[in-house]
Structure 1
Amino acid sequence: MSTTTAPAVPTATDVRAAAERIAPYARRTPVMRAEIDGRPLTLKLEHLQRTGAFKLRGALNALLGGAPTDRVITASGGNHGLGVATAASMLGVHATVYVPETVPEAKAAPLMDTGAEIVRVGEEFAVAAEAALARAESEGVRYLHAYDDALVVAGQGTLGLEIAADAPECDTIAVAVGGGGLIAGVRLGAGGRRVVGVEPEGCRSLGAALEAGHPVRTPVDSVASSALGAATIGRVPFEVLRANPVTTTLVSDAEIISAQTRLWQDFRIAAEPAAAVPFAAWLAGRVPGDNPCLVVCGANADWRPHG
C-alpha cells in the first residue's frame, strides 16, 4: 500500500505548507462581519468552498503532499467523500468512496457526478469505513482517512490561517467537531487564538476523549450526525489537541435546528446542521470572546428553512 511522507502529528509549519500546496485548487472563502442584538460576530463562509464544505482542503493536501498514486479509497458520511472525489478528479486520480446507506441525497448526488465509484455500506460511518479499509488493504490501494491523517489535518488547518489573516480582530474561533480533523487543523493555524470545539449532545467524541485522556467510542445520535457522526475522535487530531488545548461545549438538536433557521432568516445562509453548530453555541452564550469567528463549515444537506 502507498504511504505518505507526512509526520505522525502535523505542526503549524505543515499547515503553512498545505496552504501553498492547495492554493491553485481551493477557494479562499470570505469572512462576513455582522451583529446580532448588539453582539458582534464574524462568520467564516466555508460553505462557499468548492464541493460546499471544508473537506476539499484536506483531500487536496493529502493527494498533493503524499506519495504519488493513481487510485485512492476512502469512506465518508458525505462531505469528505465529495472532497476526495473532487480532488481526485482535479488531479487525475481514480477515487472509490464508501458511504453509509443513510447518506443524505444532497451529498450522494454530487458524489455520483464526480465520476468516482460509490459503494453504499451499513447505516453508520464506522461500518462504511471498515469496509473501505478492508478493500484498500486487500487491493493494495491507498486509503485516505476522513480525519485521522496528518496531511488531511494540515489541509483543514488552512482555514484557520485564512481566518487569522482576514479577520485578525477575532479572538476566538468556534468549530464544529466530528472526528476532529477540522478543529485540530484550525488550532494549528489559528495563530494562538482561543479555539472552541462545539459538539452535539448526542455526538461528543472529543469531549469524551478529553475526559478519559484518550480516544473512546461514543454514541452517535444527532440531527448533525451525517457530518459529525464519528464514534471515536481520531488519534492524530487527539494528539494535536492534547499538545495544543482547546475548550469544548455542547448544543442540543433543538438548538442546532433553531440556529440553522436563524442562519437562513438573518443571512440567507442555507447551512447543513453541522455548519449551524457553532452558531447555535454562540446564540446560547457558550462561545467566549469579544469578537468570535464562527465557522460555517458546509451546505450539503436536504434542507428547507423552518418558519
Structure 2
Amino acid sequence: MSTPTWADVREAAEAVHPFVRRTPVLRAEVDGRPLVLKLEHLQRSGSFKLRGAVNALVSEPLPERVLTASGGNHGLGVATAAALLGVPATVYVPESAPKAKTARIEAAGAKLIRHGATYAEAATKALEAASEPGTRYLHAYDDPAVVAGQGTVAAEVVQDVPDVDAFLVAVGGGGLVAGTSLSGVPTFAVEPERCRALGAALKAGEPVDVEIDSVAASALGATRIGAVPLGVLQDRVTSVLVSEVELLAARDRLWEEFRLAVEPAAAVPFAAWLAGRTDGELPCVILCGANSEWTP
C-alpha cells in the first residue's frame, strides 16, 4: 500500500467536503494556559471516522456493497458514508461493542453482525465475507485513502487557526494521528497505558499485537497498529501515555468547564495536556468522538 502525503489530505478535503461537517474550533484557556479544542465529536456520525470512510469510497468507483469491521465508531462512519452515497453496508463488531454505538450503526441503515470477543476476531470474519464479487472491504485505518481522509481534521485546523504549533491526538489503529502528522505540525500521539499498540510498534519497528484493557477500548481498542499509519508515523510523532484515572478525569473536566460531552477516548489527548506531557505555545487537542453513554 502506498504512503499518503499532505497533498493527498488536501485533495481529500475537497472530496469529503459535500458530505462532512466542517467542525468548529474553540480557543480556550485552562489553568492559565491557552489551547485550541477541535470539536470533531460534533461530526456527523459522532466521530472523525466519517471522513476516512467517505474519502475511501469516493476515491474509487462505488462498489455494489461495502463491508467493514469495527469497534463502533468506524462502523458508524462507514454506515453513514454508505447511506449518503447510496451503497448497502454491513458492519461486523465484536460482542463487546457498546450498545450506544451498535444501535446507531443499525439506525444509519447498515446490517450489523456481532462476532468474536475482539476487533481482530470480528475483522477476520468480515474479511472472509468480503470475498463476494462487487464488495469493498473498508479497513478502519490501514488504508491510504482512509488516512488521508482522517487528515482533513488537521487540514481544517491549519486553515482556521494557523498559529497552532502542536497537535495532540488519541491513538487506536493510527489513522487519525497519521493523517494529522502529515501536516508537518509537531504531533503528540497519546495512548492510554492499557492501549499501547503504537508504542509497542514504535519500539519493535513493526506492528505487533498487544493486549487491550481500557475504558477507552471501544474506540482505541486496536490490538495492532496499521502498517500504513506506522509507515507515516515513524520519526514523525512523540508518543505519550496517560492513565485510566487521568483520562476519565479529563473527560469529566471537559464537561464541567465547557459542557463538552465526549467519550473517554476523546479525552485522552486532553489528559496528556493537563498532565504537562506535551509541548506547544498554542496546541490543538482533537476531541475525536462522542459515541458512548455516560454520566458526569
In structure 2, the residue matched to 1:4 is none
**Pairing partner for 2:287 from 291, 296, 303:** 296
In structure 2, the residue matched to 1:31 is 25
SS in 2 for 1:165: helix
1:138 Cα deviation (Å)? Answer: 5.0
Q: Deviations over 1:69-99 (max 9, x none)?
A: 1201100011100000100001010100001
SS in 2 for 1:133: helix
Q: In the alignment, residue 228 of structure 1 is paired with which amino acid?
A: L
1:68 Cα deviation (Å)? Answer: 2.5
SS in 2 for 1:155: helix
CA distance in structure 2 between the aligned counterparts of 1:206 and 1:228, rounded to whole angstroms? 11
Unmatched 5+ residue regions in structure 2? none
Q: In the alignment, residue 143 of structure 2 is paired with which amino acid?
A: D
1:235 Cα deviation (Å)? Answer: 0.5
Contact 1:198 1:250 in 2 (8 A): yes
Q: In the alignment, residue 277 of structure 1 is paired with which amino acid?
A: V
Q: Deviations over 1:27-52 (max 9, x none)?
A: 11011011112111110000010011
In structure 1, the residue matched to 2:249 is 258
Unmatched 5+ residue regions in structure 1? 1-6
1:179 Cα deviation (Å)? Answer: 0.2
SS in 2 for 1:202: coil
CA root-mean-square deviation? 1.1
CA distance in structure 1 between the aligned counterparts of 2:202 and 2:153, rounded to whole angstroms? 24
Q: In the alignment, residue 258 of structure 1 is paired with which amino acid?
A: A
1:139 Cα deviation (Å)? Answer: 5.4
Q: In the alignment, residue 45 of structure 1 is paired with which amino acid?
A: L
Contact 1:70 1:92 in 2 (8 A): no
In structure 2, the residue matched to 1:43 is 37
1:153 Cα deviation (Å)? Answer: 0.4
1:103 Cα deviation (Å)? Answer: 1.0
Contact 2:25 2:38 in 1 (8 A): yes
**Stretch moving more, 137-146 or 14-23:** 137-146
Q: In the alignment, residue 232 of structure 2 is paired with which amino acid?
A: V
CA distance in structure 2 between the aligned counterparts of 1:13 and 1:37, rounded to whole angstroms? 37
**Pairing partner for 2:129 from 130, 135, 157:** 135
1:287 Cα deviation (Å)? Answer: 1.4
SS in 2 for 1:248: strand
In structure 2, the residue matched to 1:175 is 169
1:101 Cα deviation (Å)? Answer: 1.2
Identity among equivalent pairs (%): 61
TM-score (norm 2): 0.98
**Pairing partner for 1:276 from 246, 251, 267:** 267
Contact 1:187 1:195 in 2 (8 A): yes
1:122 Cα deviation (Å)? Answer: 1.4
Contact 2:64 2:134 in 1 (8 A): no
1:219 Cα deviation (Å)? Answer: 1.0
SS in 1 for 2:159: helix
CA distance in structure 1 between the aligned counterparts of 2:268 and 2:157, rounded to whole angstroms? 18
**Pairing partner for 1:146 from 134, 140, 163:** 140
1:67 Cα deviation (Å)? Answer: 3.2
**Pairing partner for 1:124 from 118, 123, 128:** 118
In structure 2, the residue matched to 1:213 is 205
